Amino acid sequence: ECLDDNDPKQRELGLNAGIALLSVCDIIIVGKRYGISDGMEREIFRARRLGLEEICLN
């Protein structure tokens, strides 16, 4: 971890970096045990738009 999740600007930077990485992925694995955060929702939405296979774990 290199960004401070409690700093809104750094959190947004990290979320955008993760979303950008999805463009080179084939699948997204979603762990739902602890719930889905707002950031996870954004990544899942983008992955679906990219047509990535979605694997859900509990």
- Local confidence band at 7 (pLDDT 50, 70, 90 cut-offs): very high
Handedness of CA 17, 28, 25, 49 (dihedral sign): negative
The pLDDT score that the predictor gives to residue 1 is 65
The pLDDT score that the predictor gives to residue 58 is 84
pLDDT tens per residue across span 16-54 = 999 999 999 999 999 989 999 999 999 999 999 999 999
Question: What's the pTM?
Answer: 0.83
